[in-house]
Amino acid sequence: FDKKYLSLYWKLPQTVLDHIDSNRNCEDIAMSMVVAKESNMPPVWVNAKVKDLGKIGISSGGDHISSRTYCIEYFELQLRKAPLILSRVVSYRASSLWFWTN
């Protein structure tokens, strides 16, 4: 993680930051967009088994997928572009390093 990305994150349009604050969701999507735009690299999907420690978290709602899809569409509209880059890059071995995997 490069600290320049954090600085760039806070320079996102205020509408994006307000959406994140009011919904308490999608900050990871916004950061992925910042990194993709700056690095011109796609995000990496980590294929890992992660044990969810919570039962009532933000991702447990029935509309979680649609709200995150809306975030992507809204952020792209606010940024006037789609900075995420299509990729099929997958990391398979990282899961063995994380304490919360099986």
* Rounded Cα distance, 47 and 27, in Å: 21
The more confident residue out of 24 and 56 is: 24
* Rounded Cα distance, 94 and 100, in Å: 12
Residues 48, 94 contacting (CB under 8 angstroms): yes
Q: Which pLDDT does position 64 carry in this prediction?
A: 82
Q: Which pLDDT does position 59 carry in this prediction?
A: 72
Q: Which pLDDT does position 101 carry in this prediction?
A: 47
As annotated, the active-site residues are: 28
Q: Which pLDDT does position 50 carry in this prediction?
A: 66
Burial class of residue 100, CB neighbours in 10 A (0-12, 13-18, 19+): exposed
The more confident residue out of 47 and 40 is: 40
51-89 residue pLDDT tens: 666 667 677 777 888 999 999 999 999 999 999 888 877
